Amino acid sequence: MIATQTETDTAVIDGMDVSAYRIPTDLPEADGTLDWNSTTLVVVELSARGTRGLGFGYADTATARLISDKLAEIVQGSDPLAIRSTVQRISQSVRNLGRPGIAAMALSIVDIALWDLKARLLEISLVDLLGAARHSVPIYGSGGFTSYSDEQLQRQFGGWVEDGIPRVKMKIGRDPAVDRRRVTLARRTIGDAELFVDANGGYSHKQALSQATAFAESGVSWFEEPVSSDDLEGLRLLRDRAPAPIDIAAGEYGYDPFYFRRMLDAQAVDVLQADATRCGGVTGFLNVAAQCEARPIPLSAHTAPSVHAHLGCACPEVRHVEYFHDHVRIERMLFDGCLVPSNGELAPDRGRPGLGLEFKQSDAARWEVGLHGT
């Protein structure tokens, strides 16, 4: 039964737990410009009158510390229905820290927890709170790290296609010749499935142009960050001159609405990307979707599939959600209610309130990182 207005009116946020977990990857991972062997999960749990709300993101422990040291006092005692009021106050409070980066990720994770809490208080799923546009959203399998052997790449991509996921993305950007060989191998492995590549800004303009021509012959249809995502002129060059079937995509490092406006104004991408765990949570993602609607240009959700499944179903601008190997593995291990793809799509369970997830704290405890002290 849906709580009445009077019941929720008087609720205030009376508890907030912040924690961080450094979880080793299953294999060493690398892309065009970075290597890593662990992923840090930051979790925020809010409570109001016995109902708990969950937010999370993939960030640094500094993000968790900022939430605990600075944002908690704003959130505590706030009205769980008045999300934008709380978010505005958080935005103002981080002015002197600089919003992009750690502060934006802290704000984003708290925002997600606020939306989850509100949906739970109203006893509806997050997608229903936002207003569903569809029941399920397409995904693409994402991994294919530059650190993978040929066998590891083939096993991962073959597995996704076998599971009914008809599009996959691989990392490139280390060595143009090696990248072309790996792309050819990936195409042989996946048959007719869609093939995406992501250079994470690893190429120069001329390298990226030359690679785009070669990749087109392997049927690549998506070239993400062929050059740095800060190089809007470079992205525009690629967008204008890469073979037409290839979409140029970027936007995962967007932390505020102005970033996306600048990228769209520069006509730098065919498909914009955004990550709710960075760009301002649910609130920020809805803003990006509205900017895409007004262009119009499609939007693709970056990683954290358990959050973006709801947003993807609420925002018709979303073309697909990135089903990122690292995050899928962590979300399956540590959240009850984690969605399993069917026919290449994720469908939020609208019978479960909020995000539909329960954090398995005891399973995560062995990876917990202390926020204070050494």
Residue ranges that bind Mg ion, judged by CB under 5 A = 198
The residue among 173 and 353 lying less far from Mg ion, judged by its C-beta, is 173
Report in angstroms how near the CB of residue 322 gets to Mg ion at its nearest.
8
The residue among 121 and 242 lying less far from Mg ion, judged by its C-beta, is 242
Please give the structure tokens belonging to residue 126.
């997050």
Report in angstroms how near the CB of residue 143 gets to Mg ion at its nearest.
11
The residue among 198 and 231 lying less far from Mg ion, judged by its C-beta, is 198
Report in angstroms how near the CB of residue 346 gets to Mg ion at its nearest.
19
The residue number whose beta carbon is nearest to Mg ion equals: 198
How, if at all, do strands 335-336 and 345-346 pair?
unpaired
- 147 burial class (0-12, 13-18, 19+ CB within 10 angstroms)? middle
The residue among 145 and 359 lying less far from Mg ion, judged by its C-beta, is 145
Find all residues with CB under 8 Å of 357, minimum gap 6, and list them: 54, 306, 331, 335, 336, 337, 338
300 and 319 Cβ atoms separated by less than 8 Å: yes
SS3 170: strand
Report in angstroms how near the CB of residue 199 gets to Mg ion at its nearest.
9
CB atoms within 10 A of CB 245: 11
Cα gap 211→261, rounded to integer Å: 28
The residue among 29 and 198 lying less far from Mg ion, judged by its C-beta, is 198
The residue among 198 and 345 lying less far from Mg ion, judged by its C-beta, is 198
31: which DSSP letter?
-
Phi, psi of 365 (to 5 degrees): -55, -35
The residue among 194 and 358 lying less far from Mg ion, judged by its C-beta, is 194
Report in angstroms how near the CB of residue 301 gets to Mg ion at its nearest.
12
Cα gap 237→234, rounded to integer Å: 5
Find all residues with CB under 8 Å of 139, minimum gap 6, and list them: 165, 305, 320, 321, 322, 323, 341, 344, 345, 346
Report in angstroms how near the CB of residue 222 gets to Mg ion at its nearest.
10
Report in angstroms how near the CB of residue 20 gets to Mg ion at its nearest.
23
